[in-house]
Chains A and B, each alone.
Chain A
Amino acid sequence: MKNWPLWEIFVRSKQGLSHKHVGSLHAADAEMAMQNARDVYTRRMEGVSIWVVESVHVTASDPDEKESMFDPANDKVYRHPTFYDVPDGVTHI
């Protein structure tokens, strides 16, 4: 085998936050990916939890379709709270 499979690494930096992608690495299997992720990405208390996902299992949106995929949200201002009028004196809303 030329390269060990590639894994994407996600780290939760502290309780209460989501896991965030921090990078990738090669490893023979998930267990080794986990050990290497610990050594490479959390040597300075950068995290309290790690996810490893083999890169081939990630399905990504196509950047060429970015416009059709995400632009419709632009003209749907009614999805945002500022679209709705509330008189000045009304609070807690």
Chain B
Amino acid sequence: MEAHLEKRFQDKIDQEIKIEPKDWMPEKYRKTLVRQISQHAHSEIVGMLPEGNWITRAPSLKRKLGLLAKVQDEAGHGLYLYAAAETLGVERADLVADLHSGKAKYSSIFNYPTMTWADIGAIGWLVDGAAIMNQVPLCRCSYGPYARAMVRVCKEESFHQRQGFEIMMTLCNGTTEQKEMAQDALNRWWWPSLMMFGPNDDESPNSKQSMAWKIKRFSNDDLRQKFVDVTVEQAKHLGINIPDPDLNWNEETQHYDFGEIDWEEFWNVVKGNGPCNKARLDARNKAHDEGAWVREAAVAYAEKKRKRKEKVA
């Protein structure tokens, strides 16, 4: 029976028929999706912290409005994704509890600090840029609710990347110090951005199954290469240098060759030892704990309104 159901399931996937919440699915497919979608949701939420750090110090009203709108979008992305995860039979409160206890993971990129205003430019340009590379293929993911959430997310992301690039462009056309600031931000964010695509393909054992299930459409290394190819060209427009001595155009492959990623650093940050892991979790827990009374008050108020309505009726 199970084998028969599995075959029917895979046939649907192969025919590009979307899987919807109440459809039969292998338990491993469900679990893989819950893990991936919730990690993705956590990343959107934690991702608000490094940028939120600069909202009050944005250099102009225009920049403040843009950054505020971007951070608000990220909160929405978190919500779409938690809602998509919930269609798989988990509860948001449990997912959030796993984030706050440190059990669940989120994208390691958000464990790096935002030290100057240029970091806000670099994040929009590189981090949102890498996120877009990852997310566009997810719009065609086999699981309907995830794919639909990603369509909304991707529509909103392009403004994020453009506002980041514009910040970088403005700095690069500014004073020497401003251009140096932009270069410094690129130096610090380049390698962590490349790490966002995850381990090399031969180190990524679950990728094959995810590709067969069409949760994933392209391999980590393919997406990373695509990102390098487009971003190097963009850096030329800014007139700043990618911090990689091994970066070279390869006529034969028609791609850029680039240097080895420091995987030790990557795993170290994943394990919790990045510069801001602790600060991020502390900030999340503090916000959640201090918001407890608001959640309780909302329930009490809803209850009061309901009772009042009953009395009138």
Contact = CB atoms under 8 A, between A and B. Distances in A.
Given A40-B79, A60-B22, A26 B149 contact: no
Interface stretch (B40-48, B240-248, B257-265, B298-306): B298-306
A3 B22 contact: no
B155 to A, nearest CB: 8
B83 to A, nearest CB: 5
Query: What interface size band does chain A fall in?
Result: 20 to 34
Contact of A6 (B86, B149, B152): B86
Given A62-B22, A63-B20, A4 B299 contact: yes
A76 interface: no
B87 to A, nearest CB: 8
Interface in A35-62: 39-40, 43-44, 60, 62
B287 interface: no
A17 interface: no
B251 interface: no
A60 to B, nearest CB: 7
B177 interface: no
Contacts of B23: 63
A2 B83 contact: no
A22 B83 CA distance: 11
Nearest to A24: B83
Contacts of A23: 80, 83, 148-149, 152
Contacts of B149: 23
A23 B86 CA distance: 11
A77 interface: no
Given A28-B302, A29-B302, A40 B76 contact: yes
Interface of B is mostly: helix
A7 to B, nearest CB: 10
Contacts of A63: 20, 22-24
Contacts of B152: 22-23
Contacts of B61: none
B92 interface: yes
A1 B83 contact: no
B83 A3 contact: no
Contact of B79 (A1, A3, A25, A28): A25
Interface in A2-27: 2-4, 6, 22-26
A69 interface: no
Contact of B299 (A6, A28, A44, A60): A28
B92 A3 contact: yes
A3 B299 CA distance: 10
Contacts of B302: 28-29, 32
Contacts of A4: 295, 298-299
Nearest to B77: A40
Contact of B305 (A1, A29, A64): A29
A1 B92 contact: no
Contacts of B83: 23-25
Q: Which of A4, A6, A40 gathers most chain B CB within 10 Å?
A: A40
Contacts of B148: 23
B3 interface: no
Given A23-B80, A32-B298, 13 more contacts: A2-B91, A2-B93, A3-B91, A6-B86, A24-B83, A25-B83, A28-B298, A29-B302, A31-B305, A39-B76, A43-B73, A43-B76, A63-B24
22 contacts: A1-B299, A3-B91, A3-B92, A3-B93, A4-B295, A4-B299, A23-B80, A23-B152, A24-B83, A25-B83, A28-B298, A28-B301, A29-B305, A39-B76, A40-B76, A43-B72, A44-B156, A63-B20, A63-B22, A63-B23, A63-B24, A64-B24
List the 7 closest A-B pairs by CB distance, nearest first.
Answer: A29-B302, A28-B302, A28-B298, A2-B93, A24-B83, A63-B22, A3-B93
